[in-house]
Amino acid sequence: MTTESLARYRTEWFAGPTMARRDILAGMVGTFALIPEVIAFSFVAGIDPEVGLFASFIIGIVIAIAGGRPAMISGAAGSVALVAAALVHAHGLQYLLAATILAGAFQIVFGLLKLDVLMRFVSRSVRTGFVNALAILIFSAQVPQMLDVTWHTYAMIAGGLAIIYLLPLITTAIPSPLICIVVLTAIAIAFPMPIATVGDLGRLPSSLPAFALPGVPATLDMLAIVAPYALAMAAVGLLESMMTAQVVDDLTATTSSKARECTGLGLANMAAGLFGGIAGCGMIGQTVGNVRYGGTGRLSTLVAGVFLLVVMVPLRPWVAQVPVAALVAIMIMVSISTFSWESLRDLTRHPKVSGVVMLATVVVTVATHDLSRGVLVGVLLSGVFFAFKVTRMMDVAVDHDPVTDTRIYTVTGQVFFASADIFTDRFVTDDSARRARIDLTAAHLWDVTAVGALDDVVAKMRRHGMTVDLVGLNEASAILVDRHAPLARG
């Protein structure tokens, strides 16, 4: 680590007393936002809630130290739980723990290979759709907590939202969501009423996590079972973490090391598996909330993990009495602040294809409750639209020089697999002219499909007795032609 990077790392931990205080308070609020989602996704994965809570504690601590994105909160939730569910159902928890460790190893390899560069293929429209879909899913996840309940729950939610939105008008010294939790819990204890509490969501851990190797046979058969699930968990986890890191980059106008985030998440997941926890990933709702509450450094991530341990064991009786309504109010606020309201206005201002990509990402994600599928559809649509756009930018102008009886083809734009057929159709290979000159000065040949099309055109012209000259090939295109289109060069 260079002196400059070491200094930056230190600043990410401590940028002054004021920032440290904000990080600590934001991390404490983030802990309470973690609990209901981790418990909910634990049920989705078919595991005991304490498995997800243990994992979130371990992941939070490790990622704070080794991650590449300060202020990012990671835990045992998201699409990883959906992948894990099938493995747990078929083979049990111990196989899941083995898959978690292997998934972490895959992620470390992905980070070392710098595969984070694949994020460059995720357009802004896809990221916006990802954020909007997540906001909708966060809100929809709160709906079950608001059905078949007494009026007391609605009153508590309304009171919580009032505290969250109105208190900052008076003071921002303490995050309003934390005040919301304290006040509503005090009211629920002082005035017992028929409302759900955190204790009703599932059994909270009563002891600290312990180191243990998964109880599975060390055989190739076991590896064959867990490897596909581990690879899927690794890919899905990295996708959500990279998207979350990019969102925080945009929110804070800063940059982060995506490759380091890959390796950091891998180390965190391996540690989680060794301490009896499920694999996790970046949690965008809690991360955005952390940033909104004032968390900007690694300390907020560490506090979220450490405070989760404090909440899980010593303060367990008190935490069990926290009204679910308080958590619902916080998550409603997070969903509202997460949604990109400007994107609705941009639907009429930006190109239609951008709107289609964004909406497709939202629809698929909400319909499947799987962020990875939504992003995949968005990326594929972006690629298709880009290919069509680039195809329209390719043109072949045709002219004739009667003095030398030469047909002149001037190619401009990008020639690749999507535009190769259009490129070929622009040439008259049985022309009556004696010579043909193909000018590629303003063009670029990108792949073997493009040079193959050029080779076919030249071959057909020569079979009809024409003399063909190629001019203007740039260096990269010339290398491809030399290797894959011998007729064109000959």
State pLDDT tens for residues 424-443: 888 887 778 889 999 989 99
Query: How many whole angstroms separate alpha carbon 174 and alpha carbon 441?
Result: 63
Dmax over CA atoms of the chain, in Å, equals: 101
**Banded model confidence at residue 44, pLDDT cuts 50, 70, 90:** low
**Banded model confidence at residue 222, pLDDT cuts 50, 70, 90:** very high
275-285 pLDDT, tens digit per residue, is 988 998 888 77
Work out the average pLDDT over 121-130: 81
Query: How many whole angstroms separate alpha carbon 356 and alpha carbon 488?
Result: 41
Query: How many whole angstroms separate alpha carbon 65 and alpha carbon 33?
Result: 21
Average pLDDT, the chain: 85
H or E stretch at 30? helix 17-45
Q: How high is the pLDDT of residue 477?
A: 83
Percent of the chain at pLDDT > 90 equals 19
Work out the average pLDDT over 394-401: 88
Q: How high is the pLDDT of residue 353?
A: 85
Work out the average pLDDT over 85-102: 90
Work out the average pLDDT over 446-470: 87
H or E stretch at 395? strand 395-401
Q: How high is the pLDDT of residue 78?
A: 64
Query: How many whole angstroms separate alpha carbon 435 and alpha carbon 395?
Result: 21
Name the residue type at position 157. Answer: I
Query: How many whole angstroms separate alpha carbon 173 and alpha carbon 183?
Result: 16
Strand order, beta sheet including 435-445 = 395-401, 406-415, 435-445, 467-471
Q: How high is the pLDDT of residue 429?
A: 76
Locus of tokens 């078929």: 90
Closest CA to 275 of 212, 363, 361: 212
pLDDT of 488 higher than 70: no
Query: How many whole angstroms separate alpha carbon 423 and alpha carbon 414?
Result: 10
- Of residues 251 and 397, more confidence is placed in 397
Query: How many whole angstroms separate alpha carbon 126 and alpha carbon 271?
Result: 32
Pairing relationship of beta strands 435-445 and 74-75 according to DSSP bridges = unpaired
Q: How high is the pLDDT of residue 269?
A: 95
Q: How high is the pLDDT of residue 65?
A: 92
Work out the average pLDDT over 382-402: 82
State both tokens at 89. 């159902």
**Banded model confidence at residue 413, pLDDT cuts 50, 70, 90:** confident
Q: How high is the pLDDT of residue 241?
A: 87
Percent of the chain at pLDDT > 70 equals 95
In sequence order, which residues have a C-beta less than 8 Å from that of residue 133 and are 6 or more positions away? Answer: 361, 362, 365, 366, 371, 374
In sequence order, which residues have a C-beta less than 8 Å from that of residue 101 and are 6 or more positions away? Answer: 214, 269, 270, 273, 274
**Banded model confidence at residue 142, pLDDT cuts 50, 70, 90:** confident
**Banded model confidence at residue 15, pLDDT cuts 50, 70, 90:** confident
45-56 pLDDT, tens digit per residue, is 778 778 888 899
pLDDT of 264 higher than 60: yes
pLDDT of 5 higher than 60: yes
Q: What angle do CA 372, 378, 383 make, to 5 degrees?
A: 125
Check: CB of residue 473 under 8 Å from CB of residue 444.
no
pLDDT of 132 higher than 90: no
- Of residues 247 and 300, more confidence is placed in 300
pLDDT of 338 higher than 90: no
Q: How high is the pLDDT of residue 40?
A: 64
For 144, what's the count of Cα atoms within 13 Å in the CB-facing half-sphere?
7
For 481, what's the count of Cα atoms within 13 Å in the CB-facing half-sphere?
22
